[in-house]
C-alpha cells in the first residue's frame, strides 16, 4: 500500500462512523425539540461536512432539506472567512444566502480538532412560525419575501461557546410562538454539539491524517458506485414538461421544462425554457431546484450510494437566472421548497421515463398539501398548527403505488389526532383514504387522503397545495390520478371550495376538508389482474365502473 | 423435599434446556437440542423424558419458557397464516391503521412498500361515537350497527376482534360497551380492547398495538394450550411461566390475554441473566452483549435495573441497530431496550460495486453455513475470518466434535474478498473482523451514548456462542476496561429464565402540569395500579412479602412531544416539596440526555406507570476450586499461531481449557481460552482473571 493511501477497511470504518454520527444527531434533535412539527413529524435533517465544506454523511430524513445543505455551508464559509473559530455556531434561514425557505432554520457548527478546522456539523429544522403575514409563516399569497417572515443572514448564534442572547431574542420576538422557537433552536444546537463531540472522538481514535485521506476516498467511493450504474443507461436526450396550477396570485399556468441528456457517463439537467419567476410564493432559490435534481439522481441510480459530492460529480444542472427555478430577490419563495420542488421531480421523471422506462413510476401526488391553522386559543394564547398531508404514490413498473403516504421531496409524519385535540382548539372529524382517486393502470396509482378539521375558535387558514387543476400523470398507458380539492363547510352545512394557495378564515364550528390527489397509474388498465381488482372492490378503494 | 425448576429457551436453530435443583442451586442438566419448528414441544418432551425420572416430575415446581412464536408470526417464519381479525373503531377513522404515520420507510426507492395492513380495510368497521381528549362523551355511542358487524364477522369466520376508539385511554366506557356486546353474542371469540392493551394517547400506536394483540391471541393461545397439554400428559403439575419483552415472566394464562407482551421474549432472557450478575456481583453499570450465529444484541443495566423502551416495530427492518421507522408494525409495550444488528458468526462478508468490503446483513446460518463447514456455503463469514486468523480451533468446534476446514475459508476469502480489494487473505480476514466489530460497537453505543450514558463507566458481560470472541475488540472501540465472561456463555440466556421475577406493568394516562397536580389523586392512582398488580400476583401464588411495586412518571416540558421516564418510588407524594423534587429529577435526566435544561419551563406529566414484581428466590453462583496465579499444567492445551494485529505477524499463543482453570488463575494476552460452547480471545494489552465463581474477568491494561 502506498504512503498516502488508506486501506478500504479503514475507509469503511470511518465512513460508517460518520453516517452513524449524523443519525445520532437526528435522534438527539428530535427528542430534545419542542414543537410537534419536529417531535411528531420529524421535519428536520442533520449532516456532517468536511473542512472544505463538502457533504460527508447525512441522516435520511427530508430530501428537500438535504440537497440544499451544501450551499448553506458554503454560504457560511464565504461570509465568515477568517472568523470561524472553535466554539462558534452559525445560524441562517435566508433562501438567497444558502437557505431554502424562511421556516427552515439551519445551524452550522464548525468542528475543530487540536485547533484545526476538520469539518462542520449541520442541522436544519422546519420552525412552525418565523413571523410574517400569517401564522405559520407559509403565506400562499405572498408576493415578496418580506411578507414571509424574519430573514436571518448567516450570523454567529454562538460565539466561543456562549449563546448570543441578542440574536435569540430577535428571533423569538419575531415569532408568534417564541417559546417553541427557543426550545427547537436549543435542540438543534444540542444535536450539532453532539455531532461535534462525536467527530472529534472519531478523529482522536483514527488519527487526523487518516481522517483526511478517508474523506477524499469516501467521495471517490460514491463516484465509483454512481458510475457503475450510469454506464448502463443509454446515451440519450429527452425532454420533460410539467405544469403548476398557478402562483396563488393569478391562475396562469406555470411551465417547467427540463432537457435531460446522458452522454459519456455524464448527466445534464437543463431547465432552459422554464417560466420566469412569478409574483406568488412558488419561486425556488437555486438550492431547492438542486435538491430536486439530487433526489432524482439518487432515486434512479441506487439509494444505498452514500450521498455526497462524489455522487454528484458527473451531474450538471443548468437553471436560467430569473426563472421560477432560480429566482432573484425579493421574490416570494415559501412554496418553492414544498411545492415547486415536487414538480421539478415530476418534470425530471417524465424526461427519464423516455430514457429508462423500466425504472420510472407514474407521477405521485406532486404536492405536500401544506395546511396551517393559527389563531388564539380559549385562553387567549396564540397557537399555530402546521402539517402536510400525504397522498397517492405513483404506480411503478413492478407494482401498485402506495395509498395515502408522503412522496418524493418530503417524508414528514402526521400529528397524532389525540395530540392535536389535546393541544389545539381543533377537532379532527375524519382521517381516511380517499376512495376512487387513483389513476387506473396495470399497476394503479395510490389513492389520496381525506382529512377534516373543525375549529372551536375563529382561525386563519393558510393553504399551499398543488395538483388541483393539472393531474398526476399516468405512464405507459396508465391513467391520470384524481386532482386534490380543498373546501370548507360552514355551520349551515354549505360547501365552499377554497383555492389551492392562499389564506382564508374559519369561524368557530366551521370545518376545513383537505382531499389530496391520487397518483397516476402505470401500464394499460386492461392488463390489471382480477385478484387485484377484486381486492380493491372489497376494500372499497376502487369501485368498479 | 427436592425442588426442581426448568428453563426452556426455544430459538430458531437450537432449543436450550436447563434443569436446576432450586434448593441447592445445582444445575442438574443443561442441553442443546435441535429445534423442530413445526412441533417445538416434541423436542422438549423427548429430552425431558430422557433426563427426568418419574419421581423428579413431581418435584418440578415451575417451568420457565422463552419463545419467538410471536415475532415469527409476523416474519412469516412459521407456517402460520395470520388469523382473520376485525377492527372496530370510531367513525371516520378506520384507515388510521393503514395510513400509519404517512411516512415511507425508504426515501429514495420508488418501489417502496408499506407493510400490508395487518387488518384489511374490509374488516375494519366504524361505529358512531366520540370522546374528547378529556374523556368526555361528545357523541353517545350508536350500538345499532353492531349486529351488522357481528353478522359479517360470523360469515367470514373471524375469531378475533380489536376495539380501538379515539381517546379511550381517558374513558373506556364505549369500548367496554362494544366488548360486552361481542362477549354476549359470540361464543368463541378473542377480544382485545385498546384501554386494556395500551391505554395511552397517540391513536395509531394504540390501534396498532391492539390489533397486533388481537392477531396474536389465537396463535399464542393455541401454542400455549398445546404446550400445556403436552406437559400435563407428561405428568407436570407445575405452572408454566413465559418470558415477556419487559424482562419479567408472567403466568401463561395472563400471556394468553396479552400476547403482545411476549414479542421479544427470546432475546430478553440474556439481559435478565446479565442483570442477575449485576446484582449478584454488585455492579452498577453493566452492558449485556449477546452474539450468536445471526444477530448481535446489546442492552444496558443501570443500578441493577434493565433499561426499557416502549418504541418497537414488529417485523421492521433494522439499520445500524435501529429499527427503520415505518418498516414494521408498531407495538407499544415496555420492551427491554435492545439494539440489534444482523451480525453473527454466520454473517457473510462481500465486496460491493464501489469496491467496499461489507459484512452482513445476510447470514449463511447453519445451512448453507460458513465456507469452513463444507456444507453448501461458499461465501466467507465472520467464522471463516476468525478461523484463518487462528482464533478458532482449526480441528473443530464444540470440543472438536464439529469438523471444520480452514483451507476452505482461505479459498473463499481469497476469491470473494482479497482478490477484489487488493489485500492479502489475512488482511482481508482482519478487515472482516474489524468491520463486524465496528458494526457491533454501534449497538453498544445506541444503548449507552444515545441514552446519555458513558460506556467507559460500564462493565461488559459478553455471551452467546460468538460474544467472547469479539468482546475485547469491542471494549477497545468503546474504551471499556472490564469484561465478564459467564460460565456457560452459550446457554446463558436459558439460564436467565431461572433468574427471572414475575413482572406486570400498568399505565394510567394523567395529563397535567406537575405544579397543578393534586398529589393525593396521583397517590390514589398509583395505589389503584399497584392493587391491579397485587391481584394478579396473588393469583399467581405470590405472598405479600415477595411482591414489589415500582412507580414511574412520564414527564416532559410543556410543548415537548416526547417523554422521559422518571422513577418515583423514592418520592413521598404527599410532602409539600414533591413537585419541586420531581422537577429537579426531570431536569437532571434531561440535561444528561440532551445537554441542556429549561429551568423556567413548566413540566407536565403524561402517564404514570407501575411495575409490579413477584420476586422469586434467585440461585447462587457456586464457588470453584482455588488455584495459584499460574494455571495448572493441564489447563494449557497447546500453542497456536494467531494473528491479532495487521501491523504485526502471527504470534505463538497459548490455548487454555476453561474447564481446567481455577479461581485466581491469570492469563495475560495474547491468549485464548476454549470451552465447549465458546472461545474467548484475549488480545495483547488484556489480562484474564478467574474469580471464585469461575467467571472470567478481562481487564484492559
Task: Tell me the mean pLDDT in the region B65-78.
Answer: 77
- Quote the cell numbers at residue A133: 403575514
Contact B599/A at CB under 8 A: no
Q: In this model, does residue B574 exceed pLDDT 60?
A: yes
CA distance B131 to chain A (A): 10
If one counts every other C-beta atom within 10 angstroms of the C-beta of residue A4, the result is: 9
Q: In this model, does residue B13 exceed pLDDT 70?
A: no
A448 near A517, Cβ under 8 Å?
yes
Task: Tell me the mean pLDDT in the region A516-539.
Answer: 97
The least confident of A373-387, B66-80, B83-97, B258-272 is B66-80
Residue with cell 427492518: B317
Contact A123/B at CB under 8 A: no
Q: Where do the structural domains in chain B lie, given as residue ranges?
A: 4-75+222-262, 85-215, 265-347+435-501+619-701, 348-434, 504-614
**B368 upstream amide cis, omega within 30 of 0:** yes
- Look at residue B369 in the predicted model and tell me its pLDDT: 85
Which long-range CB contacts under 8 A does B577-586 form with residues at least 24 apart? B578/B519, B579/B514, B579/B515, B579/B517, B579/B519, B582/B514, B582/B553, B582/B555, B583/B514, B586/B555
For residue A351, tell me if it sits in a domain.
no
Query: Which residues of chain B make contact with A27, given a CB cutoff of 8 A?
Result: 450
Chain A residue whose CA is closest to B511: A422
CB within 8 A of A474, min separation 6: which ones?
A: A362, A363, A395, A439, A440, A441, A445, A480, A481, A520, A521, A522
Query: Which residues of chain A make contact with B353, given a CB cutoff of 8 A?
Result: 224-225, 228-229, 302
Rounded to an integer, what distance in angstroms lies between the CA atom of residue A486 and that of residue B652? Answer: 77
Q: In this model, does residue A3 exceed pLDDT 60?
A: no
Q: In this model, does residue B245 exceed pLDDT 70?
A: yes
B468 near B679, Cβ under 8 Å?
yes
Task: Tell me the mean pLDDT in the region B309-330.
Answer: 77
- Tell me the average pLDDT of chain A: 93
Last residue of a domain, one of A204, A224, A244: A224
Q: In this model, does residue A59 exceed pLDDT 90?
A: no
Helices (H), B235-283: 252-257, 265-280
Q: Of the candidates B353, B103, B355, which has an alpha carbon nearest to the alpha carbon of residue A301?
A: B353
Burial class (CB in 10 A: 0-12, 13-18, 19+), B75: exposed
Last residue of a domain, one of A174, A206, A224: A224
**Are B103 and A417 an interchain contact pair (Cβ–Cβ within 8 Å)?**
no
- Look at residue A398 in the predicted model and tell me its pLDDT: 95
Task: Tell me the mean pLDDT in the region B387-401.
Answer: 89
User: Phi and psi of A79, rounded to 5°?
Assistant: -65, -40
CA distances to A353, B129, B172, B681 from B200, in Å: 47, 19, 12, 47
Q: Of the candidates B432, B434, B424, B436, which has an alpha carbon nearest to the alpha carbon of residue B385?
A: B432
- Quote the cell numbers at residue A394: 405513483
Task: Tell me the mean pLDDT in the region B145-151.
Answer: 97
Q: Cα-atom radius of gyration of chain B, to the nearest Å? A: 26
Q: Of the candidates A178, A32, A145, A137, which has an alpha carbon nearest to the alpha carbon of residue A386?
A: A137
**A184 upstream amide cis, omega within 30 of 0:** no
Task: Tell me the mean pLDDT in the region A128-156.
Answer: 93
- Look at residue A303 in the predicted model and tell me its pLDDT: 87
A79 near A154, Cβ under 8 Å?
yes
Rounded to an integer, what distance in angstroms lies between the CA atom of residue A388 and that of residue B216? Answer: 34
- Look at residue A46 in the predicted model and tell me its pLDDT: 94
Strand partners, B483: B460, B698
- Look at residue A511 in the predicted model and tell me its pLDDT: 98
Helices (H), A132-177: 165-173
Dihedral over alpha carbons B32, B272, B608, B593 (to 10 degrees):
-120
Chain B residue whose CA is closest to A368: B102
> Shortest CB distance from B434 goes to which of A13, A394, A539?
A13
Confidence of residue A4 (pLDDT cuts 50, 70, 90): low
- Look at residue A11 in the predicted model and tell me its pLDDT: 82
Report helix, strand or coil for A248: coil
Rounded to an integer, what distance in angstroms lies between the CA atom of residue B447 and that of residue B469? Answer: 21
**A29 upstream amide cis, omega within 30 of 0:** no
pTM of the model: 0.89
Contact A346/B at CB under 8 A: no
- Quote the cell numbers at residue A238: 429527452
Last residue of a domain, one of A209, A224, A239: A224
Beta strands A501-506 and B296-302 are: unpaired
Query: Residue B521: in which H helix or E strand, if any?
Result: helix B519-539
**Phi-psi bin for B541: left (phi > 0), alpha (psi -120 to 50), beta?**
left
A39 near A126, Cβ under 8 Å?
no
Rounded to an integer, what distance in angstroms lies between the CA atom of residue A505 and that of residue A489? Answer: 12
Query: Residue B542: in which H helix or E strand, if any?
Result: none
Rounded to an integer, what distance in angstroms lies between the CA atom of residue B344 and that of residue A230? Answer: 34
Confidence of residue B660 (pLDDT cuts 50, 70, 90): very high
- Tell me the average pLDDT of chain B: 90
CA distances to A13, A77, A218, B430, B438 from A16, in Å: 5, 26, 10, 17, 8
Confidence of residue A529 (pLDDT cuts 50, 70, 90): very high
How far is C-alpha A196 from the geometric centre of its chain's CA atoms?
25
**Structural domain span for residue A102:** 8-224
**Are B110 and A299 an interchain contact pair (Cβ–Cβ within 8 Å)?**
yes
CA distance A190 to chain B (A): 6
**Are B355 and A24 an interchain contact pair (Cβ–Cβ within 8 Å)?**
no
CA distances to A68, A350, A506, B102, B202 from B212, in Å: 40, 41, 39, 19, 16
If one counts every other C-beta atom within 10 angstroms of the C-beta of residue A297, the result is: 23
Strand partners, B349: B359
Confidence of residue A1 (pLDDT cuts 50, 70, 90): very low
CATH fold of the domain at B4-75+222-262: Nucleotidyltransferase; domain 5 (3.30.420)
B553 near B582, Cβ under 8 Å?
yes
Rounded to an integer, what distance in angstroms lies between the CA atom of residue A41 and that of residue A411? Answer: 9
Contact A446/B at CB under 8 A: no
Strand boundaries in A264-415, DSSP class E = 266-270, 315-318, 370-376, 382-388
Q: Cα-atom radius of gyration of chain A, to the nearest Å? A: 23
**Are B201 and A418 an interchain contact pair (Cβ–Cβ within 8 Å)?**
yes
User: Phi and psi of B326, rounded to 5°?
Assistant: 90, 0
Contact A402/B at CB under 8 A: yes
Contact A389/B at CB under 8 A: yes
Burial class (CB in 10 A: 0-12, 13-18, 19+), B527: middle
**Are A8 and B320 an interchain contact pair (Cβ–Cβ within 8 Å)?**
no
Confidence of residue A116 (pLDDT cuts 50, 70, 90): very high
| Angle of CA points A361, A364, A369, to nearest 5° | 165
Task: Tell me the mean pLDDT in the region B282-288.
Answer: 96
Q: In this model, does residue A93 exceed pLDDT 90?
A: yes
Interface test with A, best of B89, B90, B101, B138 (most A CBs within 10 A): B101
Helices (H), B461-518: 467-478, 492-498
- Look at residue A148 in the predicted model and tell me its pLDDT: 96
Hey, which residues 28-67 in chain A have their CB within 8 Å of chain B?
Answer: 28, 30-36, 39-40, 42, 60, 63
CA distance A431 to chain B (A): 5
Terminal Cα-to-Cα distance of chain A (whole angstroms): 69
Q: DSSP letters of A308-319? A: SGGGGTTEEEE-
For residue A281, tell me if it sits in a domain.
no
- Look at residue B25 in the predicted model and tell me its pLDDT: 74
For residue A72, tell me if it sits in a domain.
yes
CA distance A406 to chain B (A): 6
| Angle of CA points A231, A237, A241, to nearest 5° | 125
Strand partners, A68: none
The number of CA neighbours under 13 Å toward the Cβ of B428 is 28
Q: DSSP letters of B95-156? A: THHHHTTS--S-SS-TT--PPPPSS-GGGEEEE--EE-TTS-EEE---GGGHHHHHHHHHHT
Contact A407/B at CB under 8 A: yes
pLDDT tens per residue across span A219-242: 999 999 999 999 999 999 999 999
Task: Tell me the mean pLDDT in the region A35-50.
Answer: 82
Chain B residue whose CA is closest to A299: B108
Contact B557/A at CB under 8 A: yes
CA distances to B32, B612, B631 from B65, in Å: 15, 20, 38
Query: How many structural domains are present in chain A?
Result: 2
Hey, which residues 303-322 in chain B have their CB within 8 Å of chain A?
Answer: 320, 322
Amino acid at each position: 500500500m502506498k504512503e498516502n493511501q488508506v486501506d478500504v477497511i479503514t475507509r469503511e470504518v470511518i465512513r460508517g462512523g460518520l453516517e452513524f454520527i449524523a443519525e445520532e444527531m437526528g435522534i438527539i434533535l428530535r427528542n430534545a425539540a419542542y414543537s410537534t412539527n419536529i417531535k411528531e413529524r420529524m421535519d428536520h435533517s442533520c449532516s456532517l461536512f468536511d473542512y472544505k465544506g463538502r457533504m460527508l454523511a447525512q441522516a435520511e430524513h427530508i430530501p428537500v432539506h438535504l440537497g440544499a445543505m451544501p450551499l448553506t455551508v458554503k454560504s457560511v464559509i464565504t461570509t465568515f472567512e477568517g472568523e470561524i473559530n472553535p466554539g462558534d455556531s452559525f445560524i441562517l434561514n435566508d433562501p438567497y444566502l444558502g437557505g431554502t425557505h424562511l421556516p427552515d432554520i439551519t445551524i452550522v457548527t464548525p468542528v475543530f480538532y487540536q485547533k484545526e478546522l476538520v469539518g462542520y456539523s449541520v442541522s436544519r429544522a422546519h420552525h412552525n412560525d418565523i413571523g410574517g403575514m400569517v401564522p405559520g409563516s407559509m403565506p400562499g399569497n405572498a408576493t415578496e419575501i418580506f411578507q414571509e417572515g424574519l430573514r436571518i443572514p448567516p450570523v454567529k448564534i454562538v460565539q466561543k461557546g456562549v449563546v448570543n442572547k441578542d440574536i435569540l431574542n430577535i428571533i423569538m420576538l419575531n415569532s408568534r410562538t417564541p417559546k417553541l422557537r427557543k426550545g427547537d433552536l436549543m435542540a438543534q444546537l444540542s444535536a450539532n454539539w453532539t455531532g461535534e463531540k462525536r467527530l472529534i472522538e472519531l478523529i482522536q481514535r483514527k488519527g487526523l491524517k487518516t481522517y483526511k485521506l478517508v474523506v477524499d476516498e469516501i467521495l471517490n467511493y460514491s463516484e465509483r458506485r454512481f458510475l457503475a450504474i450510469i454506464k448502463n443507461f443509454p446515451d440519450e436526450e429527452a425532454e420533460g414538461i410539467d405544469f403548476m396550477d398557478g402562483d396563488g396570485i393569478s391562475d396562469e399556468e406555470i411551465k417547467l421544462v427540463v432537457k435531460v441528456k446522458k452522454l459519456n457517463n455524464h448527466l445534464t439537467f437543463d431547465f432552459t425554457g422554464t417560466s420566469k419567476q412569478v409574483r406568488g410564493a412558488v419561486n425556488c432559490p437555486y438550492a431547492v431546484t438542486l435538491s430536486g435534481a439530487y433526489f432524482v439522481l439518487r432515486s434512479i441510480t441506487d439509494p444505498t450510494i452514500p450521498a455526497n459530492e462524489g455522487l454528484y460529480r458527473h451531474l450538471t444542472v443548468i437553471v436560467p437566472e430569473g426563472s421560477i427555478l432560480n429566482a432573484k430577490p425579493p421574490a416570494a419563495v415559501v412554496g418553492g421548497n414544498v411545492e415547486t420542488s415536487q414538480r421539478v421531480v415530476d418534470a425530471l421523471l417524465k424526461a427519464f421515463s423516455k430514457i429508462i422506462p423500466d425504472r420510472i413510476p407514474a407521477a405521485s401526488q406532486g404536492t405536500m398539501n401544506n395546511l396551517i391553522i393559527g389563531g388564539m386559543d380559549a385562553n387567549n394564547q396564540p397557537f399555530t398548527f402546521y402539517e402536510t398531508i400525504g397522498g397517492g404514490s405513483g404506480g411503478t413498473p413492478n407494482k401498485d403505488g402506495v395509498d395515502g403516504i408522503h412522496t418524493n421531496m418530503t417524508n414528514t409524519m402526521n400529528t397524532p389526532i389525540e395530540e392535536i385535540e389535546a393541544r389545539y382548539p381543533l377537532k379532527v372529524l375524519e382521517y381516511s383514504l380517499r376512495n376512487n382517486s387513483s389513476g387506473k393502470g396495470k399497476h394503479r396509482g395510490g389513492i389520496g387522503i381525506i382529512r377534516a378539521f373543525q375549529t372551536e375558535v375563529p382561525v386563519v387558514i393558510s393553504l399551499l397545495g398543488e395538483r388541483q387543476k393539472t393531474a398526476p400523470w399516468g405512464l405507459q398507458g396508465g391513467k391520470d390520478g384524481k386532482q386534490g380539492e380543498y373546501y370548507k363547510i360552514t355551520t349551515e352545512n354549505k360547501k365552499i371550495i377554497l383555492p389551492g394557495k392562499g389564506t382564508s378564515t374559519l369561524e368557530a364550528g366551521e370545518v376545513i376538508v383537505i382531499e389530496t390527489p391520487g397518483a397516476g397509474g402505470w401500464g394499460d388498465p386492461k392488463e390489471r389482474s382480477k385478484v387485484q381488482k377484486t381486492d380493491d372492490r372489497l376494500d372499497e378503494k376502487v369501485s368498479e365502473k | 423435599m427436592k425442588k426442581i425448576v426448568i428453563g426452556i429457551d426455544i430459538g430458531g436453530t437450537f432449543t436450550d434446556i436447563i434443569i436446576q435443583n432450586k434448593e441447592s442451586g445445582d444445575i442438574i442438566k443443561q442441553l442443546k437440542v435441535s429445534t423442530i419448528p413445526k412441533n417445538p414441544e416434541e423436542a422438549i418432551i423427548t429430552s425431558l423424558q430422557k433426563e427426568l425420572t418419574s419421581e423428579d416430575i413431581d418435584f418440578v415446581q415451575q417451568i420457565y419458557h422463552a419463545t419467538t412464536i410471536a415475532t415469527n408470526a409476523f416474519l412469516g417464519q412459521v407456517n402460520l397464516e395470520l388469523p382473520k381479525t376485525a377492527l372496530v373503531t370510531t367513525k371516520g377513522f378506520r384507515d388510521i391503521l393503514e395510513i400509519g404515520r404517512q411516512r415511507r420507510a425508504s426515501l429514495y426507492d420508488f418501489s417502496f412498500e408499506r407493510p400490508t395492513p395487518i387488518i384489511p380495510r374490509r374488516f375494519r368497521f366504524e361505529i358512531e361515537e366520540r370522546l374528547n381528549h378529556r374523556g368526555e362523551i361528545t357523541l353517545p355511542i350508536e350500538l345499532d350497527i353492531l349486529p351488522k358487524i357481528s353478522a359479517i364477522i360470523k360469515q367470514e369466520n373471524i375469531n378475533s376482534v380489536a376495539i380501538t376508539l379515539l381517546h379511550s385511554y381517558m374513558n373506556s366506557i364505549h369500548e367496554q360497551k362494544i366488548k360486552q356486546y361481542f362477549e354476549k353474542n359470540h361464543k368463541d371469540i378473542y377480544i382485545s380492547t385498546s384501554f386494556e392493551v395500551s391505554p395511552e394517547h397517540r391513536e395509531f400506536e394504540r390501534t396498532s398495538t391492539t390489533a397486533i394483540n388481537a392477531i396474536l391471541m389465537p396463535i399464542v393461545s393455541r401454542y400455549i394450550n398445546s404446550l400445556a397439554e403436552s406437559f400435563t400428559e407428561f405428568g407436570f403439575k407445575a405452572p408454566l411461566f413465559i418470558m415477556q419483552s419487559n424482562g419479567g415472566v408472567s403466568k401463561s394464562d395472563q400471556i394468553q390475554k396479552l400476547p403482545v407482551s411476549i414479542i421479544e421474549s427470546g432475546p430478553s432472557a440474556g439481559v435478565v441473566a446479565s442483570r442477575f450478575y449485576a446484582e449478584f456481583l454488585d455492579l452498577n453499570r453493566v452492558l449485556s452483549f449477546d452474539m450468536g450465529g445471526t444477530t448481535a444484541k446489546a442492552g444496558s443495566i443501570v443500578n441493577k435495573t434493565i433499561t426499557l423502551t416502549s418504541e418497537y416495530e414488529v417485523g421492521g427492518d433494522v439499520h445500524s441497530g435501529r429499527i427503520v421507522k415505518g418498516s414494521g408494525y408498531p407495538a407499544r409495550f415496555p420492551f427491554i431496550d435492545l439494539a440489534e444488528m444482523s451480525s453473527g458468526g454466520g454473517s457473510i462478508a462481500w465486496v460491493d460495486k464501489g469496491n467496499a468490503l461489507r459484512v452482513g446483513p445476510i447470514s449463511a446460518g447453519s445451512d448453507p453455513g460458513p465456507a469452513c463447514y463444507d456444507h453448501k456455503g461458499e461465501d466467507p463469514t465472520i467464522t471463516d475470518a476468525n478461523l484463518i486468523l487462528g482464533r478458532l480451533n482449526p480441528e473443530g468446534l464444540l470440543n472438536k466434535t464439529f469438523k471444520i476446514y480452514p483451507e476452505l475459508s482461505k479459498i473463499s476469502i481469497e476469491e470473494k474478498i482479497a482478490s477484489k480489494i487488493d489485500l492479502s487473505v489475512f488482511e482481508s480476514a482482519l478487515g472482516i473482523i474489524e468491520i463486524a466489530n465496528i458494526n457491533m460497537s454501534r449497538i453498544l453505543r445506541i444503548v449507552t451514548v444515545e441514552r446519555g450514558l458513558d460506556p467507559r463507566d460500564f462493565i461488559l458481560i459478553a455471551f452467546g456462542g460468538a460474544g467472547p470472541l469479539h468482546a475485547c475488540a469491542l471494549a477497545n472501540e468503546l474504551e471499556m476496561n472490564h469484561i465478564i465472561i459467564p460460565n456457560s456463555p452459550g446457554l446463558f440466556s436459558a439460564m436467565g429464565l431461572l433468574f427471572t421475577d414475575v413482572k406486570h406493568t400498568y399505565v394510567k394516562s394523567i395529563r397535567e402540569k406537575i405544579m397543578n397536580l393534586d398529589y393525593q389523586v396521583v397517590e390514589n392512582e398509583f395505589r389503584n395500579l399497584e392493587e391491579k398488580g397485587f391481584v394478579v400476583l396473588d393469583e399467581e401464588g405470590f405472598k405479600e412479602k415477595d411482591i414489589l411495586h415500582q412507580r414511574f412518571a412520564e414527564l416532559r416540558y410543556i410543548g415537548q412531544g416526547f417523554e422521559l421516564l422518571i422513577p418515583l418510588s423514592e418520592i413521598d407524594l404527599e410532602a409539600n416539596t414533591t413537585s419541586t423534587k420531581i422537577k429537579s429529577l426531570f431536569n437532571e435526566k434531561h440535561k444528561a440526555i440532551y445537554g441542556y435544561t429549561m429551568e423556567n419551563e413548566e413540566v407536565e406529566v403524561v402517564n404514570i406507570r407501575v411495575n409490579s414484581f413477584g420476586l422469586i428466590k434467585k440461585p447462587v453462583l457456586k464457588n470453584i476450586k482455588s488455584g495459584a496465579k499460574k494455571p495448572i499444567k493441564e489447563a494449557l492445551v497447546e500453542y497456536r499461531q494467531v494473528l491479532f494485529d495487521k501491523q504485526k505477524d502471527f504470534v505463538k499463543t497459548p490455548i487454555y481449557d476453561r474447564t481446567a482453570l481455577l479461581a485466581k488463575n491469570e492469563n495475560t494476552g495474547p491468549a485464548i481460552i476454549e470451552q465447549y460452547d465458546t472461545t474467548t480471545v484475549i488480545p495483547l494489552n488484556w489480562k484474564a482473571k478467574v474469580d471464585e465463581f469461575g467467571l472470567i474477568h478481562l481487564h484492559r491494561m
